[in-house]
Amino acid sequence: DVKVTQSSRYLVKRTGEKVFLECVQDMDHENMFWYRQDPGLGLRLIYFSYDVKMKEKGDIPEGYSVSREKKERFSLILESASTNQTSMYLCASSLFSLVRPRNNEQFFGPGTRLTVL
């Protein structure tokens, strides 16, 4: 059974703290993604990685950074957490192929609900 796991389901942090969200996939996928989910705004891409040590900014990267040292693990870092980063964070992974057509179905983790006080 394919899986994407996230380190915490719920997290409460204080303003200014450094926060690490971890994501691990067991499908040997090249692509990994971090999304933020807010009511009425859908899923917004924060960062994307298509290979180890490779990353690309998404639509809302401000205030976030990422790390991908191993293929199966993709970390989201909030350098100095702020209250407007209170949200649900979803990690996803997919296969990578430059050839179309391709199956780039995304597999999602259960999410981490982060509250910044």
Partner 1 sequence: QQPVQSPQAVILREGEDAVINCSSSKALYSVHWYRQKHGEAPVFLMILLKGGEQKGHDKISASFNEKKQQSSLYLTASQLSYSGTYFCGTEPLSGNTGKLIFGQGTTLQVKP
The residues binding partner 1 (CB under 8 A) are 4, 31, 33, 35, 40-45, 48, 50, 56, 58-59, 90, 94-98, 100-111
Burial of 61 (0-12, 13-18, 19+ CB in 10 A): middle
Cα separation, 82 vs 26, in Å, equals: 32
Nearer to partner 1, 69 or 100 (CB): 100
Choice between 75 and 109, CB closer to partner 1: 109
Nearer to partner 1, 25 or 81 (CB): 25
8 A C-beta contact, residue 7 and residue 111:
no
Spatial CB neighbours of 72, under 8 Å, sequence gap ≥ 6: 24, 25, 26, 28
